[in-house]
Amino acid sequence: MATNLLELDNLNAFYADSHVLHDVSLALAPGKVLALLGRNGAGKSTCISAIAGFVPPRSGRVLLAGIDLARSTPEQISRAGIGLVPQGRRIFGSLSVRENLLVASRKHTPAGRRCWTCDDVHAMFPRLRERQHQLAASLSGGEQQMLAIGRALMTNPSVLLMDEPSEGLAPQIVREVGDVLEQLKSQIAILLVEQNLGLAMKVADDVVLLNTGRVVFAGSNADFRQQQAQLQSHLGIT
Ligand SMILES: Nc1ncnc2c1ncn2[C@@H]1O[C@H](COP(=O)(O)OP(=O)(O)OP(=O)(O)O)[C@@H](O)[C@H]1O
């Protein structure tokens, strides 16, 4: 069995006194996509924020290749190899497409991690090459999503956290996002939060289902499909 690249070990996270993640554990192996599912408010985005260091966990471990990052800053976590594609894209609208990529670019990356250039991102997303001198704000929603993914890749991650990449996109663009995830997964491990169950199940190798901040299912894509009828009440998605 492949060694896990990212592991959450009994993670607990709070907003002030509000206990949102309860002993969340999960494991993501290299070259795999893990879909993190659950209804609105289940704690998926909090989980992503806890891994990325924006909501520091109060207890538990966030292990990247065996090193605990639970008490590291977002900058340290990014440099360690965890890239983030945030919910709502959060691209810099007043910068050009190319500038959005360059601000994320890393000069020094440890051996063993792929170093992404603008050309590499353009090869994956040819429309970003065509629009590289346009302001990012002028891109369509789908193009902005591609830019958000490209910007995260420019940090040379070994793990990509993606928070609802299909949100607000037309079905054709959602399919394109799915194709991109299929291409990326051979090179990188992906933790995917997704409300679009069709997309999640198309690309995911494994599934973790949260309900009120607790893991209620963890298993393979096939096991999830088999138990989906019983798990439906935890999903709240189509
Ligand atoms: N900044 C915050 N301050 C206080 N409570 C928050 C904050 N952000 C989220 N919460 C609460 O934490 C819980 C988990 O929210 P979270 O956004 O992680 O869920 P989610 O599964 O990502 O939901 P969605 O699919 O709607 O994005 C919810 O009860 C939410 O109201």
Q: Residue 102: inside a domain, yes or no? A: no
Bridge partners of 63, per DSSP, are: 7, 68
The total number of structural domains in the chain stands at: 1
CATH code, domain with 217: 3.40.50.300
Cα 165 to chain centroid distance, Å, stands at 8
Residue 190 has pLDDT above 60, yes or no: yes
Task: Kindly indicate whether the ipTM for this predicted assembly is greater than 0.90, answering yes or no.
Answer: yes
In percent, how much of the chain has pLDDT > 70?
Answer: 98
Q: Is 86 in the pocket of ligand 1 (CB under 6 A)?
A: no
Q: Which of 12, 44, 234 to mutate to test the pocket of ligand 1 (most atoms within 8 A of CB)?
A: 44
Give me the domain span that covers residue 76. 6-91+158-234
Q: Residue 133: inside a domain, yes or no? A: no
What single-letter DSSP state applies at residue 3?
P
CA–CA dist 178, 200 (Å, integer): 8
CA–CA dist 231, 224 (Å, integer): 8
pLDDT digits (tens, 9 = 90+) for 52-95: 999 999 999 999 999 999 999 999 999 999 999 998 888 888 89
Q: Is 41 in the pocket of ligand 1 (CB under 6 A)?
A: yes
Do 135 and 95 form a contact (C-beta atoms < 8 A)?
yes
Q: If you measure from the C-alpha of residue 15 to the centroid of ligand 1, how many angstroms do you get, rounded to a whole number?
A: 9
Q: Residue 173: inside a domain, yes or no? A: yes
Q: Residue 107: inside a domain, yes or no? A: no
Q: Residue 79: inside a domain, yes or no? A: yes
Q: Is 17 in the pocket of ligand 1 (CB under 6 A)?
A: no
Tokens of 149: 């993914």
Q: If you measure from the C-alpha of residue 14 to the centroid of ligand 1, how many angstroms do you get, rounded to a whole number?
A: 10
Q: Residue 195: inside a domain, yes or no? A: yes
Q: Residue 87: inside a domain, yes or no? A: yes
HEC secondary structure over 104-116? HCCCCCCCCCCCC
Which residue lies with its CA nearest to atom 3 of ligand 1? 15
Q: Is 45 in the pocket of ligand 1 (CB under 6 A)?
A: yes
pLDDT score of 1: 44
Tokens of 135: 């302001």
Q: If you measure from the C-alpha of residue 105 to the centroid of ligand 1, how many angstroms do you get, rounded to a whole number?
A: 30
Residue 163 has pLDDT above 80, yes or no: yes
- The pLDDT of 225-233, averaged and rounded, is 87
Q: Residue 50: inside a domain, yes or no? A: yes
Residue 16 has pLDDT above 90, yes or no: yes
**Does residue 138 sit in helix, strand or coil?**
helix
Looking at the chain, which runs of residues are DSSP E strands?
6-15, 18-28, 33-37, 59-64, 67-68, 82-85, 159-163, 189-193, 206-211, 214-220
Choose among 183, 100, 170, 181: nearest CA to 142. 170
pLDDT score of 237: 52
Q: Is 82 in the pocket of ligand 1 (CB under 6 A)?
A: no
Cα 100 to chain centroid distance, Å, stands at 18
Average pLDDT in the chain: 92
